[in-house]
Amino acid sequence: MSKTKEWRVPNFTFSTKPPQSVRADVLVLPIFEGLEPGPGVRPVRGVDLVALYEAAGNKGKRGEYLIVPNAGLDGVEASAILLLGVGKRDDAGPDACRRAIGKVARQLSKRARVATTLPQIAGRAFDEAVQATVEGVLLGAYRFDRYKSNSNDDTPKLREVAILGGARADARSARTAINRGQVIAESQMWARDLVNTPALDLPPAELAREAQKMARQVGLKAKIWSEAELKRGGFGGILGVGQGSVRPPRMIELRYENGSGAPIALTGKGIAFDSGGLSIKPADGMEWMKSDMGGAASILGAMRAIALLEPRLNVIAAIPSSENMPSGSAIRPGDVLTHRGGKTSEVLNTDAEGRLVLADALAYLAEQGPRAIIDTATLTGACMVALGDEVWGAMGNDRQLIRDVLAAGEAVGEPGWELPLYEPYRKLIDSEIADIKNIGKRYGGAITAAFFLREFVGDIPWVHLDIAGPAFSDRVGDYWPKGATGVPVRTLVRYVLLQAGTRRR
C-alpha cells in the first residue's frame, strides 16, 4: 500500500468580480451571529436571504448553514447560495474563516465550482483570512480513508474555488496568500497521513523513506542515519529505546539552505509506536500510541512547506525515530544510556522514552551552532492534564524565542501556553548513579521532562513544545476529523517565515 497519497486539490483563484456575476455551483456568503448579513448578501435581490436563513432556525453561529437553490435570484449566476454563519462580528478574523469554512468543507467538496466572499469579513486582515480560508477548505475536507476498501464512494468533486475580494483588494498579495495556504494545508495533511498510518506500516525505516521521498520532491537535502551510523555516532538514547523492537531506529536529517547565517534547528519525537516498553502501558487506549511520532510528522510537514515557500534563511532538522517495544532485547528499568555528546541518563521508567531519543537529536543539533532550536513532542500525559487537548505547552530557556513561538501559534489558530521551568524542580531529575534520570515525580511531569531535554541544548536558545494534547483528537473539530490534527505545522511555518529577514539576536 502506498503511504503517501496525492490529494485531489482544487484550483484556487482570486477575483474582484461582484459575487452575483461569478459562475459557480455554489456561492458561499457569510452571515454574522445576530443575523447581520456579511459581504455579498445584501446585493442579492429577489428573495430575502437573511429571512430564509432565520426561518430555517439559524442564528449565524459559526458553521450554521443554509443552501438556497437559485430559483429566481435576481442577477445571480451561481446555481445556489450557501449562507454560512461565521459567529460574532467582533471575532471575524482569519481563524473564524478557517473554522467556518472548515465546518462545511465536506458539503463544498460535493460540488465542482465554489466561490466565496468569506475572507472579506476580516477587513484589514484580508490576506491572512484568504490564507486561512484556503486552509479551512482543504483541512476541513481531509479524510483518512486509505484503509477503506470502498473509499471511492464519496470522492471529492471540487475542482475550483474562487476567492472574491472587494474592488480595492490587492490581487497579487491575495494570490500569494492563496499559495501559502495551499502549501501549508497540504503539508499539514501529509503530516496527518503519517500520524494516522498504523504503526504496522510505518516503522522508523519507512518514516525515513517517506521523508526522503518528500525531500526529493521539494528539493531538500536528506541524510538517513542507519542503526550502524547511529552506533558510530554515539546516539545511545535512540538506540536504547529502539533495541526492544525488531524494527531498527533511524535518524532523519534534512537541510534547507537558502541564506547565510546560522540555521534554525528543528526536531520532533518520532516514536513509531509507544507500548511503554517493559514499563508497559495499560491496554486501554494503547492504540493511540501510533501517534507518538506526531512531533516528527509536524517537523516533516513544516520542512516540506518551508522548502516550497522558500524563505531566505537556513533550516536544519534532525528527527529521531525508534519503536518502543517490550522484548528480550529491550532496555530495563535501571539501565544507563550514554547520549550523543557523552551525557548519561538512568532509565527508571522505559515509558519516558521520548526524552531519551530527543536528547541525542538535541545534542546533535546544538553541535551545528544554530540560532535557535525548536522541538515538538507528544511527550507527557501530564501536559494534557494541565492544558487539555487543544493547547500545547511551551517550555524553554529563552524568553524571546518562547514569546515568538507562542505568538506564531496564536496567529494561526494553534494556541500554546507557557509552563515554567521553575529552577527548584531541576533537582527532581538528579540521579544517584548517572548524570540525570528520566523521570521526576508524578507532579509537574511536563516540566521535569523539559528539564531533561534542556540538559542537551547547551546555551543555544531553545523551546520545547509538548503537543501530547493537540496532536491527536478523539473528537471531530471544526476542520479536523477524529485522529491526527497535524498540529503544530502552521505554527512552525509561521515562525520560520517571520524569522526570514530577522537577524540573529
Summarize as ranges the residues that interact with ligand BES (CB under 6 A). Answer: 274, 288, 292, 349, 351-354, 378-382, 384, 439, 445, 468
Residues 88, 143, 175, 281: which is the catalytic one? Answer: 281
Residue 134: closest CA among 185, 84, 99, 96: 185
- Binding of residue 274 to Zn ion (CB under 5 A): yes
Is 61 an active-site residue? no
**Which residue, judged by CB position, is nearest to ligand BES in the bound state?**
381
What lies within 8 Å, CB to CB, of 55 at 6+ separation is: none
- Binding of residue 186 to Zn ion (CB under 5 A): no
Shortest Å, Cβ 207 to ligand BES: 16
The number of C-alpha atoms within 13 Å of 259 and in the hemisphere containing its C-beta is: 22
Cα-Cα-Cα-Cα torsion 420, 372, 464, 289, nearest 10 degrees, comes to 180
Q: Map the footprint of Zn ion across residues 253-272, applying CB under 5 A.
A: 271
Selected binder of Mn ion within 351, 375, 404, 455 (CB under 5 A):
351
Provide the 10 A C-beta neighbour count for residue 45.
12
Give me the residue label for grid cell 528520566. 438
Shortest Å, Cβ 353 to Zn ion: 6
Is 340 an active-site residue? no
Residues 355, 371, 437, 490: which is the catalytic one? Answer: 355
Q: Map the footprint of Zn ion across residues 289-308, applying CB under 5 A.
A: 292
- Binding of residue 210 to Mn ion (CB under 5 A): no
Rounded Cα distance between 150 and 145, Å, is 9
Give me the residue label for grid cell 508497559. 280
List Cα–Cα distances, 185 to 280, 338, 453, 479, in angstroms.
36, 39, 30, 11
- Binding of residue 193 to Zn ion (CB under 5 A): no
- List % helix, strand, coil for the chain (3-state, nearest 5): 40, 20, 40
> Which helix or strand (DSSP H or E) is residue 270 part of?
strand 270-274
Shortest Å, Cβ 276 to Mn ion: 6
- Binding of residue 354 to Zn ion (CB under 5 A): yes
Shortest Å, Cβ 352 to Mn ion: 6
Which residue lies nearer to Zn ion by CB, 117 or 298?
A: 298
Shortest Å, Cβ 378 to Zn ion: 6
Give me the residue label for grid cell 484503509. 147
Selected binder of Mn ion within 274, 346, 398, 404 (CB under 5 A):
274
Binding site for Mn ion (CB under 5 A): 274, 351, 353
Residues annotated as catalytic (active site), given as ranges: 281, 355
- Give me the residues that bind Zn ion (CB under 5 A), please: 271, 274, 292, 354
